[in-house]
């Protein structure tokens, strides 16, 4: 998670997409290359992060080719989901399977255990994604001019804590030092002294490229103690003309208690904001800075029709960080292949990134998706209990010993319940099959086919509103990819020794 986050923050993929757009003028060729890059990157990066990075790129492509955004976003989401399966650490379901395999046989699977079949599904899916692109309706998008939007600066509200390095400094000193503008200091009676005090709230105008600087100022809290959120992901989101939050204020929405997401900043065009941002009435075209976990932000944005907006300036290209992340990722993967303990290899990589300065050690904990880790670890108990109690054997005795049936049940569970649950419940059953390796390969491939509903994967939810999709689009288009994954899996498991 940490290495993947460093790579995401480096802006490497954003730059790569921009360069590809300049070089490749043929739309189909551009789509094939970009979808392939997304799928292959997904083996090492978070699917949601990849989709967020490439949504603005898809806006640009849709504009250049005079087509609607609905043509591009679903293939983008599917490409990110389809790719994660070919490495053990590319998706959480593979790690669940790996752990349950270890519990049963006392040894882990290889890092690239599913490489052959995973890559076969990726390569077979690319033409299918092009077909989906052709079949998708040219539906009117909720946003047509996002590419023209220039979100220059956000108004951010922050609380000065006791150990804050800004305490005692004058307004002008802070403005000069950090390249921001302080619009007001609240409460106003404390601002008369001219210096910043503990407990005051700063209403700041922050240029997009200075946002990371502000968030790393010691003791300056973007969320007060009572309003802390679990994740520390920060996402820029655009309010579209069809969003139901128009004409409401941030305090009306109560996003924090409903979603666990905090709105830490707003870009409201020409309107001047001097008071608390929670009192600002929201208008179409305003952009919000959201803080929380990736999943809760995706849900909030999906429910309220917000469009993720990764402006170019928000993440400047950091060549050193990008190169360091890629080298570390490759080094750790090669070391794992050569027999080094995978955890040791990646831990060494993270330490190398910290020593090189590519990753700030203070932010390491923020990079980790704790709810996912807790869920995997606690839910694995169920898989273990199913094996040790004998329930997995009892279920296996009831089910026909067909790998296709195993695939279909796992895929349906992954789509309509949860992918980790599907892997946790079906792997102990698969381990009772005559050829357990073939059976767990089927479970691994099926549990990553979360294409059928907007809610089966956060990446699907992220493109739901911007693409103006209907649930039936997911069902129809997802079924194409599901069938391809099933066919490739069937061919591999019946003809090729994995």
Under the rule (CB under 8 A), what is the footprint of other proteins? 1, 4, 43-47, 84, 87-92, 95, 98-99, 102, 108, 341-344, 346-347, 368-369, 371-382, 384-386, 388-391, 394, 397, 416-418, 420-421, 425
Residue 425 structure tokens: 């419940």
CB of 426 to other proteins, least distance (A): 11
Q: Which is nearer to other proteins, 231 or 478 (CB)?
A: 231
CB of 483 to other proteins, least distance (A): 24
**What distances in angstroms separate CA 154 from CA 60, 311, 367, 465, 482, one per listed residue?**
23, 12, 23, 23, 42
Backbone angles phi, psi at 184, to 5 degrees: -160, 160
CB of 298 to other proteins, least distance (A): 13
Compute the C-alpha angle 93/496/94, nearest 5°.
Answer: 10
Q: Which is nearer to other proteins, 112 or 178 (CB)?
A: 112
Alpha-helix runs per DSSP H in 277-402: 294-304, 319-337, 342-356, 364-367, 370-389, 391-398
C-alpha–C-alpha distance, residues 287 and 306, integer Å: 9
Q: Which is nearer to other proteins, 185 or 413 (CB)?
A: 413
Q: Which is nearer to other proteins, 317 or 375 (CB)?
A: 375
CB of 27 to other proteins, least distance (A): 30
CB of 295 to other proteins, least distance (A): 9
CB of 416 to other proteins, least distance (A): 7
C-alpha–C-alpha distance, residues 448 and 172, integer Å: 53
Q: Which is nearer to other proteins, 289 or 380 (CB)?
A: 380
Residue 482 structure tokens: 């599901």
C-alpha–C-alpha distance, residues 449 and 464, integer Å: 17
In 3-state terms the chain splits into helix, strand, coil percentages (rounded to 5) of 60, 10, 30
94 within 8 A of 87, measured Cβ to Cβ: yes
CB of 293 to other proteins, least distance (A): 10
Q: Parallel, antiparallel, or unpaired for β 220-221 and 262-267? A: unpaired
Q: Which is nearer to other proteins, 241 or 389 (CB)?
A: 389
Q: Which is nearer to other proteins, 351 or 394 (CB)?
A: 394
């Amino acid at each position: 998670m940490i290495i993947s986050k460093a790579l995401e923050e480096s802006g490497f993929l954003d730059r790569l997409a921009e360069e590809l757009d300049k070089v490749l003028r043929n739309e189909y060729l551009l789509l094939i290359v970009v979808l392939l890059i997304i799928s292959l990157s997904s083996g090492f990066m978070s699917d949601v992060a990849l989709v967020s990075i490439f949504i603005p790129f898809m806006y640009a492509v849709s504009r250049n080719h005079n087509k609607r955004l609905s043509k591009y976003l679903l293939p983008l989401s599917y490409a990110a989901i389809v790719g994660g399966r070919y490495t053990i650490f590319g998706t959480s379901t593979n790690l669940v399977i790996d752990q349950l395999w270890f519990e049963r046989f006392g040894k882990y699977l290889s890092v690239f255990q599913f490489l052959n079949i995973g890559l076969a599904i990726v390569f077979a899916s690319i033409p299918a994604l092009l077909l989906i692109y052709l079949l998708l309706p040219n539906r009117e998008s909720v946003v047509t001019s996002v590419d023209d939007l220039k979100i220059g600066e956000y108004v951010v509200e922050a609380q000065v804590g006791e150990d804050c390095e800004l305490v005692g400094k004058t307004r002008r000193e802070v403005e000069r030092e950090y390249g921001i503008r302080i619009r007001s200091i609240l409460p106003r009676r404390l601002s008369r002294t001219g210096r910043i005090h503990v407990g005051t709230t700063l209403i700041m105008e922050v240029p997009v490229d200075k946002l990371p600087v502000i968030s790393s100022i010691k003791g300056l809290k973007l969320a007060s103690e009572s309003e802390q959120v679990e994740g520390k992901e920060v996402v820029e989101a655009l309010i579209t003309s069809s969003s139901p939050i128009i004409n409401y204020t941030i305090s009306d929405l109560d996003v924090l208690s409903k979603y666990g997401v905090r709105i830490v900043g707003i870009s409201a065009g020409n309107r001047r904001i001097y008071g608390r941002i929670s009192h600002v009435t929201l208008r179409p075209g305003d952009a919000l800075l959201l803080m929380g976990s990736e999943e809760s932000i995706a849900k909030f944005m999906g429910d309220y029709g917000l469009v993720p907006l990764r402006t170019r300036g928000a993440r400047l290209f950091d060549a050193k960080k990008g190169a360091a992340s890629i080298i570390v990722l490759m080094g750790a993967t090669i070391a794992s292949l050569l027999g080094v303990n995978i955890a040791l290899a990646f831990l060494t990589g993270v330490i190398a990134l910290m020593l090189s300065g590519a990753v700030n050690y203070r932010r390491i904990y923020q990079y980790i998706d704790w709810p996912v880790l807790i869920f995997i670890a606690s839910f694995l108990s169920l898989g273990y209990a199913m094996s040790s109690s004998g329930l997995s054997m009892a279920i296996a005795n009831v089910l026909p010993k067909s790998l296709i049936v195993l695939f279909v049940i796992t895929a349906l569970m992954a789509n309509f319940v949860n992918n980790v649950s599907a892997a946790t419940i079906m792997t102990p059953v698969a381990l009772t099959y005559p050829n357990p390796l073939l059976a767990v390969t089927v479970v691994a491939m099926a549990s990553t086919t979360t294409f059928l509903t907007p809610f089966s994967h956060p990446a699907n939810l992220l493109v739901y509103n911007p693409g103006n999709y209907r649930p039936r689009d997911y069902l129809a288009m997802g079924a194409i990819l599901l069938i391809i994954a099933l066919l490739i899996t069937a061919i591999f498991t019946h003809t090729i020794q994995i």
